[in-house]
Amino acid sequence: MNANVFHFIFVPSDPLQTEADLEKMINLLCDAAEDNNKSYLLQSRTLDNRTPLVLAVCHPRCNKTMIEILMDKYDIHQYLLAFDLAAKRHIEKFDSLEPLINHFNSVAINQRNKLIQIACRHNCVKMLEWLIQKEDFSKFILKKKLNYII
């Protein structure tokens, strides 16, 4: 599996865990990793190439702040994998994806169309609707009567 503690904290196992609990865990582990020169643990990947960020976006208690803590450790490919897993799992809460959207809008404009493709590939209607509502994504959608052509 090749996972470490940073991967496992984003596997939802306790329904009573709060956002504050999860954020505290992230901060404690990040500080401990830095203090012990083990920051590389944040960049490690599972056998299917998932970093802690990819798992974080699907955790029901993960928020924007936590995603922002993790984002600077990864590249655009991990951001796409994060969207891919979120679409595959049909997440209901898209707040944790906001920092990634902001990155696509400011730094990776030429990659934004892939997000629409990811939502469609996994038949994730709610994510597609959410992306379409985003002002910056409207140019990737052509309205033709009642149908959307992508």
| 60-104 confidence digits (pLDDT tens) | 999 999 999 898 888 889 999 999 999 999 998 898 999 999 888
Q: Could you give the CA distance from residue 113 to residue 100 in angstroms, rounded to a whole number?
A: 14
pLDDT of residue 44: 87
pLDDT-derived band at 114, boundaries 50, 70, 90: very high
Q: Where are the domains of the chain?
A: 5-149
pLDDT more than 90, % of the chain: 46
Q: Could you give the CA distance from residue 2 to residue 136 in angstroms, rounded to a whole number?
A: 37
Closest by Cα among 122, 120, 121, 101 to 112: 101
Q: Could you give the CA distance from residue 48 to residue 81 in angstroms, rounded to a whole number?
A: 10
